[in-house]
Amino acid sequence: MQQLLEGLNEAQTRAVVNTQGPTLVIAGAGSGKTRVLTYRIAYLLSQGIPSYKILALTFTNKAAKEMKERITALVGAQKAYDLWMGTFHSIFSKILRFESQTIGFNSNFTIYDTQDSKNLITKIIHDLNLDKEHYKPGVIHAIISKAKNDMISPEEYCNDKGIQTQDFHKKIPHVGTIYETYVKRCKLANAMDFDDLLLQTNYLFHLHPEILQKYQNRFEYILVDEFQDTNKSQHTIVKKLGFPQYNICVVGDDAQSIYSFRGAKIENILNFSKEFPNCNIFKLEQNYRSTQTIVNAANSVIQKNKYQIPKKTFSELDSGKPISVVCSQTDIEEGVTICKKIQELTLHSNSYNDIAILYRTNAQSRIFEEVLRKFNLPYKIYGGVSFFQRKEIKDVLAYYRVVINPRDEEAISRIINYPARGIGQTTIEKISVLAHRNSLSLWDIISKIELATDILNKATISKIISFRTLIQNFIQDLQIADAYSLGSRIIEQSGIFAELKADTSIEGKSRFDNIQELLNGIKEIVEQETEEIYLHNYIERIALLTDIDSDETEKLNKITLMTVHSAKGLEFEHCFIVGLEDGLFPSTMNKNNPHEIEEERRLFYVALTRAKQTATLSYASSRRKWGNLEICKPSQFINDIDSKYIEDKRIQGFSSNNYSFLNESDYQKKQIKPQTFNSFTKPTQSTKPIKIEHFEADAPEKIQSGQTIIHATFGKGIVKEIIGKYPDSVAHIHFSASGEKKLLLKFAKLKVVE
């Protein structure tokens, strides 16, 4: 026993061995949260608790896999064999497949991803003849998702006067109808979306107490990772399952609650001790990741929040370097400055994968991508198009889904005429209307398509029969052939293989290679698993993948570019937190709401605590927004840091004057949206700029309104207006050959001639 607990500090040990009753473990950044969860489960197993009596819930498959491997290493494979450990969605999907008939689904139900859901909502909006300008699928999907996470049924949604009033003012009064229709169409298709996996589990336990009791008796110990990220639906399930002993151990950090936009409720962790008055509370406050300076700086930031569980994290590592604050004149210069600093770091034998550039929004990656390419620095963007979201992969997976669940409406619509087999969109719409009018699935109609002679001609019916026969032949082998054998046969016999093979373009070859890689992945799983892996097992895994599960950042020696939200749970030797400007970070949308500004501050806290050795904070004095150069103020979060942890002198960014590829005029030509030129004065002469050689520019501060000047590229012009104070001043100049330009005087290089 003592051997098992070796290597844990005093606080971690207490959190591991106190296993009875409700337990709240507040784990600061880098404090060994995963270690505590792992050892607590291993400790339970070593005490003779059967593994099938333990339920461990995580937010990523990656976390679950790593924890199970560690537990197996500690107590042996036999003791850990039946452990129920996985994401909320994977565990509840498993329960729902066992109990599906009880709630009106078949066990082979499809799990819709976000795009599937949006596609279905788009069709419903069209079928209901609603205004597409007001009823945007992405917005409607977000509303429905929030309703489900808050456990609001379609009926409750439609009957809630407050909700209906809000929708009326937003000019979307029919959201309730869309929600009702969406739920009905999903059920007809034998499909659930991600939110349903939680909502339907709640329905199951509420409507069938005998089933709830079965799982209450099974799971004597429940452990939840990242509890600050749970929503109402997840919290309700955990509470129901834990009754009556409430041997529930939740681990998390309120200071890292950053997913309210996904429905996460920070109140779940803040109020846990009130909800369970007799709960044990343990605080893990020693940070094993970051230097003392970084930890102290992060503490000084987060203490500004009102709503939190007080703790004081500390580090016994080296004090480390002070936090650098880089001020660049422009967003372009910010990119150059950061690249120069990365070059300096890598001269001292630092690997590229030790470095991360973190930003508030995905759009900020563009400038850094351009500059990194120019500097020939390798990088990887985290959060791009997922492998499984690529068209050719989605097409193949749609075939797999239909073979597993022929009622899957979205998948059938996607493949019924791919590769092209002469079944046009008009035909698909006709059978869709017929299906929905009779509350049937598309497959129900296809199964009896011979009877549809009143709406389809014989040739079309024949083509649909051929498609049906193709799918039926695959279905026959569903329980016989393994996932690889059947999966590869579907790709070949459907015509997808030949279709992609015939495309010899670079893009076509890439798509063909992706299909090969898909099959390689299936083959690998089939060969590695001890149990037989069928197609439905594989599709289940793919459907439940989270963003981080498919990331390969750590395998690559490349600089990582990602949003702060994506960086949560990760760590890097060196972090550059960029775009720290008021209105950007914190976001304009959140800066006026006290609760939302606290979440933005928690987000900054997460960014800062990703760094192990150094943290660099960066902002620009000016940034282009919608084609216009705007003056920026540094983020309030920089001032939240105690000044003693920051370099006394704020570093001025590296000048980009020597980098012609980042010339201000080039940037203008590339980035200003076409419509912004409407307000510019059209050139009166030739639009071709005149290159002027060999002239000496005047000092920028001497340039004044009304002067006639010359520019090396744009030629002669008149200064119409100067906005701002030097060095942030911007000149509005009308060039006779090029029209009106906005130039940052610091870089403009102008000579006064009159």
- CA separation for the pair 315, 320 (Å, rounded): 11
In sequence order, what are the residues at sequence separation of 6 or more whose Cβ sits closer than 8 angstroms to the Cβ of residue 138?
Answer: 118
**Contact in structure between 375 and 341 (CB atoms under 8 Å):** no
Q: Are residues 298 and 256 in contact, defined by beta-carbon separation less than 8 angstroms?
A: no
CB distance 732 to 656 below 8 Å: no
Exposure letters 316-339 (e unless 16+ CB within 10 A, then b): ebeebebbbbbbbbbbbbbbbbbb
Active-site residue flag, 12 = no
Burial tier of 250 (Cβ tally within 10 Å: 0-12, 13-18, 19+) = buried
Q: Is 602 one of the annotated active-site residues of the chain? A: no
Cα dist from 102 to 138, 192, 205, 460, 727, whole Å:
31, 15, 11, 38, 70
From 167, 226, 229, 409, the catalytic residue: 226
Say which of 256, 313, 330, 707 is annotated catalytic. 256
Task: Please tell me which residue in 33, 118, 289, 360 is annotated as part of the active site.
Answer: 33
Choose the catalytic residue: 13, 34, 177, 652: 34
Backbone dihedral region for residue 422 (phi beyond 0: left; psi -120 to 50: alpha; all else: beta): left
3 state DSSP class of 674: helix
Does the annotation count 226 as an active-site position?
A: yes
Catalytic residue among 196, 225, 333, 395: 225
* Paired residues of 735 in beta bridges: 717, 739
CA dist list (Å): 726 to 475, 613, 617, 734:
72, 36, 23, 20
Assign 379 to helix, strand or coil: strand
Catalytic annotation, pick one of 187, 311, 610, 742 = 610
Residue 407 annotated in active site: no
* Catalytic residue status for 34: yes
Coil/strand/helix, residue 192: strand
Contacts of 563 (CB under 8 A, 6+ apart): 358, 359, 360, 361, 362, 382, 383
256: annotated active-site residue: yes
HSE, side-chain direction, 13 A CA sphere, residue 731? 29
The residues near 742 (Cβ < 8 Å, ≥ 6 apart) are: 628, 629, 668, 730, 731, 732, 733
Element (H, E) at 743: strand 739-744
Q: State the catalytic residues.
A: 33-34, 225-226, 256, 610
